[in-house]
Chain A
Amino acid sequence: NAGVTQTPKFQVLKTGQSMTLQCAQDMNHEYMSWYRQDPGMGLRLIHYSVGAGITDQGEVPNGYNVSRSTTEDFPLRLLSAAPSQTSVYFCASSHDRGPGGYTFGSGTRLTVV
């Protein structure tokens, strides 16, 4: 089925470890973003990309890195995990710049101990 696929669904990390959250979409969407969802804070934008080779920071980029080597993939890297990065992470993609709205993945629940 067409959509946004995120892996893994669950992950536990120790403080200081690094890891990559994977995101892939098969809808040929140009725009992709990473959000984190925390209780009472809604979704906050971490990084976004408007096309292959182009990325930019969102509201809360510190501690995260992204790259966009292909249209399909937009991985999110945690460089040195901290307990404050315990959250649910959502990847989303969109065909157009604004009006279309996003298609979201099902999320990755990350716990940093």
Chain B
Amino acid sequence: AQSVTQPDIHITVSEGASLELRCNYSYGATPYLFWYVQSPGQGLQLLLKYFSGDTLVQGIKGFEAEFKRSQSSFNLRKPSVHWSDAAEYFCAVGLTGNQFYFGTGTSLTVIP
């Protein structure tokens, strides 16, 4: 079945530490790939996206993600986490026909 998997439900990191959030997908072709962030009580904000070209993409707020076709993965990274990065993070894939599918999310806690 087609799916988007975020294996980590919750991650806790110390402020200043590096971060990697995992995302795997299972679709026949390479879909469009996205990471969104959701602060409490807010809608989702687009962090970055990939649909072709360089497999390392830069986003807002110092985030980056790397597409690895062989692993069907699109992991999100940040070298140094700030307390304001505490939020819920969603990986999503976009298919033809404007259908987007989201992972179940990873909740990030940042401790001082």
Contacts and interface: CB of A to CB of B under 8 A. Distances in A.
**Chain B contact residues, majority secondary structure:** strand
Given A90-B43, A106-B42, A107-B43, A43 B90 contact: yes
Interface in A26-77: 31, 33, 35, 40-45, 48, 50, 58
Tell me which of A97, A101, A106 has the highest count of chain B C-beta atoms within 10 A of its own C-beta.
A101
Contacts, number: 65
B100 interface: yes
Interface in B35-51: 36, 41-46, 49, 51
- Chain B interface residue count: which class? 20 to 34
A94 B99 CA distance: 11
Interface residues of A, number: 27
A45 B99 contact: yes
